[in-house]
Structure 1
Amino acid sequence: MSISKERKENLLLLSSCLGVVFKDLALLDTALTHTSYANEAKNGIIHNERLEFLGDAVLELACSTYLFNRFPQMPEGEMTKARASVVCETTLADLSAQLGVGKYLLLGKGERLTGGSKRPSILADTFEAVIGAIYLDQGWQTANKYILAKLHSALVAVEQGYNLKDYKTILQELVQSQGTCIEYKLINETGPDHAKCFCFAAVVNGERKGSGSGSSKKEAEQHAAFEALKGYGVL
């Protein structure tokens, strides 16, 4: 199907935010088309699951290659653990949110009304689909360079050994070393009971240091801790 003028303008805006000049905007359009939208449209619209599958593989290859070359003595088991800490839902959803991907998602009515554009699982899957689109449009070298740039903070965490701990533990140790305390406060929750999205803030001595969303309270708190650590310059 042809892309409308308004949709093309929106895709160009997102393309600018992504920092990628697409040769074929239709690839980016497909990457942003959720299954719920395609199912409701019923007119042959292609959804993003195949691109998500491809993008997931490209992400893993880029991360695996980096770890293999950067840590020649790291055992296979540790590389697997490190890769999982980098290419995880929290990190990918965070990147999607930072780039404003949710605003350009094509979602079914029900998914849209229940906060699908902010749901971490959808944002993470969409980021993978976008990577798949970049790979098909620009090739491996560009996709690999793009991935390593976007995952820089998470890869730094591996360099410093933080992948062996969760972000809440790291933040707890940091604030305790400064003689302060931390608590996590629920900001809001959206969506139906079977698909909740929680948003928490990491608050240190009454000051909000970071916030994050997740499909569970634990995941949202981890995301908030991750944002707080970036604010401290740790990640």
Structure 2
Amino acid sequence: MSMEGVVAAVESVLSYTFNEKKLLEQALTHPSYTDAPSYERLKFLGGFVLQAAISTFLFSTYPGVEAGRLYHLCAVIGSKENFARVAVRHRLNKYIRHQKATVVSDEVWEFINAFEKEEEIVSGRMKPPKVLADVVQSVATAVYVDCGFNMQKMWTLSY
């Protein structure tokens, strides 16, 4: 599939049309792909942006919940496992641009198969592949940047 086709497919999944298509291309590009900028820079910002969005959501949705519980909920929602599940749920793994066979490795396929069978993928039974979580963070950040750093819009599309 061409990169234009990939962008169109992911825009359809997100129900969001990018003004700057290159942001989405970058968000889907693994560092092993050397012909274009990778998602690493977007992922850097994504960790902070998603943490802020999740924290804001929890803080405003659960006003009576103590801080310790909010920290725990934020950690669970913003976990690598949860982000990997989001990637699989939206089939983002199909659109990762890479040049290294190990990027979409047996570990990724095992995770996808377990997810599709509704198996429990917690408590160390299966480590979620980092690449899946990275792509979710990067795509969410690409939306955030593309829509003028509007956290509310990014949050609405990301979850």
Residue aligning to 1:124: 133
State which drifts further: 136-145 or 27-36: 136-145
Residue aligning to 1:59: 50
* Larger strand share, 1 or 2: 1
State which drifts further: 117-126 or 80-89: 117-126
* 3-state SS, counterpart of residue 36 of structure 1: coil
* 3-state SS, counterpart of residue 97 of structure 2: coil
Structure 1 unaligned regions, length at least 5: 151-235
Residue aligning to 1:183: none
In structure 2, do the counterparts of structure 1 residues 136 and 57 end up closer, same or farther at CA, with 3 Å as the change threshold?
A: same
In structure 2, do the counterparts of structure 1 residues 77 and 112 end up closer, same or farther at CA, with 3 Å as the change threshold?
A: closer
In structure 2, distance between residues paired with 1:103 and 1:131:
17
In structure 2, do the counterparts of structure 1 residues 113 and 14 end up closer, same or farther at CA, with 3 Å as the change threshold?
A: closer
Residue aligning to 1:141: 152
In structure 2, distance between residues paired with 1:10 and 1:72:
41
Alignment check: 8 A CA contact 2:27 2:142 kept: yes
1:41-66 deviation line (CA, Å, top 9, x unaligned): 4xxx2111110121221211111011
In structure 2, distance between residues paired with 1:52 and 1:135:
12
Aligned length: 139
Structure 2 unaligned regions, length at least 5: 110-127
Residue aligning to 2:63: 72
Residue aligning to 1:178: none
In structure 2, distance between residues paired with 1:47 and 1:26:
11
Once the 2 structures are TM-superposed, how far is the Cα of residue 22 of structure 1 from its aligned partner? 0.9
RCO (CA 8 Å, sep 6+): is it higher in 1 or 2?
2
Residue aligning to 1:175: none
Once the 2 structures are TM-superposed, how far is the Cα of residue 97 of structure 1 from its aligned partner? 0.9
2:92 is equivalent to residue 106 of structure 1: no
Once the 2 structures are TM-superposed, how far is the Cα of residue 117 of structure 1 from its aligned partner? 5.8
1:190-229 alignment, distance < 5 Å: none
Alignment check: 8 A CA contact 1:116 1:122 kept: no
In structure 2, do the counterparts of structure 1 residues 113 and 123 end up closer, same or farther at CA, with 3 Å as the change threshold?
A: closer
In structure 2, distance between residues paired with 1:18 and 1:133:
12
**RMSD over equivalenced CA pairs, Å:** 2.0
Q: Which has the larger radius of gyration?
A: 1
In structure 2, do the counterparts of structure 1 residues 33 and 74 end up closer, same or farther at CA, with 3 Å as the change threshold?
A: same
Alignment check: 8 A CA contact 1:35 1:49 kept: yes
In structure 1, distance between residues paired with 2:59 and 2:103:
40
Residue aligning to 1:48: 39
